[in-house]
Each structure stands twice: as C-alpha cells, then as structure tokens.
Structure 1
Amino acid sequence: MSFLISSPLRRLGRLLCLSSTLMAPAAWADSYADFQQASGQLEELMAKATPHSGLPRLRDPAVAQLFAHIADGPRLFQVPVTALQDVNQSVAVCEKAMRLGQTYYTFGIAWPLPLSGAQLQQARKEQARQNLGNYGDEMSTLFAFSMHCHGHLIALMEQEFSAQPADAVSGPERLRARAFSKNTAVVYTGVLQFMQVPFWNVAQKKVMLEAAAQHATANANLMAPPLRERLLASLADADKGLDPALAPALATIRQALAVTTCTGLCQYY
C-alpha cells in the first residue's frame, strides 16, 4: 500500500462529521467519568505541545496514567455504565478517541514551511513518517480502542433495531441505520488499511489487529457483501513479511469478511 497522508486521514476522519495543568485526580468516579476527565486532560496537554516539546508520550508515567483511563475498552464497555447505554454519548466517546489519535498523526503537518509544490508535499509526508515513528505506540493504542468503542456501538444499534421486524422500521430510522453502518465500516476499513502502511512495528500492529479481530464479526455483519469482498481483497498483501504473531488475528478478520449472508443491520447498508 502506498503511503499517502490524505488517504488514511479521510478514512479515519469521516466519522468526525457525526457530530489546566496535568494533575492526578484525587479520586476517579467511574469508568465513563474517568474517560471524560483523562481525555480532557490529554487534550489540554496536546494544545500546549510545541515543536521542541512534542506531544504527550506514553513513556511519561503521568501520561500513561491518562491513557489507562482513556483506552481501557474492557473496563469502559464491559462494566455497565448508564451513560454509555445512550448511542449519542457513546458516539462522542468514539469520536474523541479518533480525534486524539489523529492529533498524533497530524502533529506538525500544518506548520508553515518555506516550501511549495512537490517539495512541500514531500515534507508533509516526511512529517507523517516521523509521527508514526515517534507516536506509534500512542496512535495504535487509541485506534485499537476505537475498535472496542465501535464494537460497543454496534451492539447498542443491533439491540435497538432487533426489537422490531425489519418491515416495521420507518424510513428515517432506516436512513439512520444506513448512515451508522456506512460510517462504522469506514472506520473499520480505515484502521485495517492504515495498519498496512510502513513504519508500524510488530507490537503496534498486534494491538490494532487483535482489537479489530475481536470485533471482526460484528463489523462484517454491518457491511453489504460486496464491501466485505473489497475489504477482503485489500488485505491480500497483508501477509507479506508478516510476523507470525499477527497471523491469527488476520485470519480471524478474513474469516469474518468471507461470510456472504446479509441479516440485521447489514440490510440497511
């Protein structure tokens, strides 16, 4: 897969159209409150980043503590949290995680440079490469979390739409289900394809692939079969030079995408 700055950003950013000082908190209330507070603190730190300081890094214990509250999918989604039984609030969580990940990817890309044309484009590409090298751990953690977050959203939507026969679903609700399915497929596809660009190390790929594999069936069930076929074909070269540690997760994803039936939310795609 050729390395392009704009292509991964378009895929990962499309979902975003849906809508202080670093101090350890005295007490963490619950998993949802933890996420809100920690992600807000991380955003504040990012806003203060300079070319010299760079963005917050996981190797900093204080930042690692924030990530522990931001990106702990099992804690956030497996333990019942009233706020996250609401689709809109859950969408906001997914959007914020994607936005944080994109901030790492785009860091410095928009800085003014005394260049133009092909030279400027090459400089932007080099900055993105540097970001992947510098912030791969942070990005892969956040993009893996987005897989868990969207898996949670899929479950909420499936529960809502399975409560009535498909022929009883109104036109506006069908459009809402279709928009959800398409946007979620964009994110899942974007992460899988973004994972194939150079510069990720094995550990970073493993984090993203295993999260994607965990929710492979749920995501594949959203997609119309032709889309599954196209995504499956896009993974054809993913085995080249693949570390054996990544093979099981990739096999799980391919198996899910090979299914040709279309039931549930798939019928609204």
Structure 2
Amino acid sequence: MSLSISMPLRRLGRLLCLSSILAAPAAWADSYTDFQQASARLEALMAKATLQSGLPRLGDPEVAALIARITDAPGLFRAPVAALQDINPSVALCERATNIGKAYYTFGSERPLPLSGAELQQARNDQVTENLANYGDEMSTFFAFGMHCHAHLIGLMEQEFSSQPLQVVSGTERMRARAFSKGSTTLYVGVVQFVQVPFWNVAQKKRMLEAAAQYAAPNVALMAPPLRERLLASLADADKDLDPALAPALATIRQALSVTTCEGLCQYY
C-alpha cells in the first residue's frame, strides 16, 4: 500500500466538481432544505456565467447569502435532519458542495482552444491560476466546508462499521470502507498541504487549515500510520516563512499525525 503526496493543485483537479436571485422566502423549512434550495440557485447563476461576466462572487451580498446557506456546517451537522442520518444523502450533499468548489477551480479551463500539446496544457494551467486569483475566497470557503462535510461522513461510517466485529465484515464492505478512507484521506491531505501553496493568501489558507485542524483527529484516524508519517514529513518545511496566524492550526494537525495507533476504519485502509 502506498499513496504519494503530490501537489495539492493537481490532486484537487482530479477530485477536486437565474439571471438574478429571487428573494429568499421568509422562513426556510430546515438547514437541509436551505442547502438544496441555495445550491440550486447558485448553480443556476454559475451556469449562466461567461468568461466576460465571471462567476458569482462573495462580494455580491445576495451571492454571499446563498453561499452562507450552503456552507452552514453548524446548522447542517450539529443537529442534522433525518436525511443526513443516512450515508447516501449525506454523500450526495458533500459531492454537490465539492462540485461547486471545483466549478470555481476549473472555470474556463476546459473550453475548446486552438492549441495542442504543451501549449494547450499551459493555457489550461494559466486559466486555473487566474481562477485562484479571482475566486480564492469562494473556493476556500467551499473547501473548508468540505472538511466539515467529510467529518460528518466519517462519523456515519464509523457508526456503521463499529456495530459489527471486524472479522465478520464482508469483503465487499471492507472494500467500501477502504475506498471511503482513501478518498477522504486524499481530500484531507490536499487541503492540509495548501499551507505550502503560494496561490492562496493567508486568510484563505487560514480558513481551510482551521477547518482541517478542527477535524484532524477523525481524519488522521482513517490513515494507516505510514501515511501519517509521510504527510507529517511533507510538512517539514511548512514553517518556513509561515504566517503566525497559521501556526496554531498547523500544530494541531501535526500533533494528530503523530498518533501511531490504528483502530476502526484505519484497519481497512
């Protein structure tokens, strides 16, 4: 078993997918309904975006209100509605939010261009870099929310698999647990390594890193100890020119990575 720790931008690229906004109703049914309705509205706005107009921005108060509803992790997960007690609708919710963040990341980079080979790849990379400059606040908000969302999924999976002894878990279920652990770990590693990526500003890094630190323990518990060691080693130079605002979150993550026990879902990795 091995997992390479590559540049987060490359990994994120793999992972990480209304002409006006109608007035929000005075009372929304619950946070889950809020999420679905606000996501649909934002997706409709994004579908109408052009390179000239750009994507919806947090600087627009109405867009900011939509994104706040979508990424309201406390409202969604501290006392989740019945639908989010089930793994399938919870996965669908997380994927929907991830795809919105990915859409900001890939905006315009997949359009047809009269180029090929290295020139085409460079043009794609340049567009992504431009997106990071233009939409870093929006992306980092959704990627931070992804930490909250995947922590909820981890809790559901742990609850499911802890209800039966390890030796009676079927091969199919073992593979499902393994796939979940690997996917969640890949996402977590990418977000943690953003601390060393120059494209994000300090506020954006802080937003993502603090969310990663908040859920460091459950995410690290998914990883096989050798992977924890490799991620910890990859952060060896992270303190170089590190903004002090990022130090507490990074210290929390490093402390979690130093744990060597492997229990629960870690055993399926």
Change (3 A) 1:237 1:24: farther
1:255 aligns to what? 255
Alpha-carbon distance in 1 for matches of 2:194, 2:245: 19
Residues 173 and 154 of structure 1, relative CA distance in 2, 3 Å threshold: same
Aligned residues: 263
Q: Determine if contact 1:213/1:253 at 8 Å carries over to the other structure.
A: yes
Check conservation: 1:140, 1:205, Cα contact below 8 A.
Answer: yes
Cα distance in 2, alignment partners of residues 241 and 23 from structure 1: 45
Shift of 1:188: 0.9
Written as runs of structure 1 = structure 2, the 5 A alignment for 1:65-214 is: 65-214=65-214
Residue equivalent to 1:9: 13
Indicate the larger mover: 82-91 or 180-189: 180-189
- After TM superposition, list the pairs within 5 Å mapping 1:209-248 onto structure 2: 209-248=209-248
> After alignment, is 178-187 or 100-109 more displaced?
178-187
Three-state SS of the structure 2 residue aligned to 1:212 is: helix
Secondary structure of 2:54's aligned partner: coil
Instruction: Report the alpha carbon displacement of residue 138 of structure 1 after superposing the two structures with TM.
Output: 0.2
CA displacement at 1:124 relative to structure 2: 1.8
Residues 7 and 174 of structure 1, relative CA distance in 2, 3 Å threshold:
closer
Deviation of 1:120 after TM superposition, in Å, equals: 2.5
Q: Take 1:163 and 1:133, find their aligned partners in 2: how far apart are those partners? A: 46
- Structure 1, residues 14-38: CA drift from partner, whole Å, max 9, x if none? xx7xxx4521321311000100111
Length-normalised TM-score, structure 1: 0.92
Relative to structure 1, the CA distance from residue 4 to residue 224 in structure 2 (aligned partners, 3 Å threshold; closer, same or farther) is closer
1:121 Cα shift? 2.3
On the 8 A contact 1:105/1:131 being kept in 2, the answer is yes
Kindly indicate whether the alpha-carbon contact (under 8 Å) linking 2:195 and 2:238 is maintained by their aligned counterparts in 1.
Answer: no
**Following the alignment from structure 2 to structure 1, what is the Cα–Cα distance between the partners of residues 8 and 165?**
43
Instruction: Give yes or no for contact 1:108–1:127 (8 Å, CA) kept in 2.
Output: yes
Contact kept, 8 Å, 1:213 with 1:250, in 2: the verdict is: yes
TM superposition score normalised by structure 2: 0.92
- Match of 1:9, as an amino acid? G
Amino acid at match of 1:104: Y
Q: Which residue in the other structure is 1:28 paired with?
A: 28
Alignment partners' CA distance in 2, 1:4 and 1:180: 19
Q: Which amino acid in 1 is paired with 2:144?
A: A
Q: How far, CA to CA, are the matches of 1:5 and 1:218 in structure 2?
A: 23
The letter of the residue matching 2:94 is C
- Could you list the runs of 5+ residues in structure 2 that have no partner in the other structure? none
Which runs of at least 4 in structure 1 moved beyond 6 Å after TM superposition? 1-4
CA contact (8 A) 1:144 1:212 kept: yes
Of all paired residues, the percent bearing the same amino acid is 70
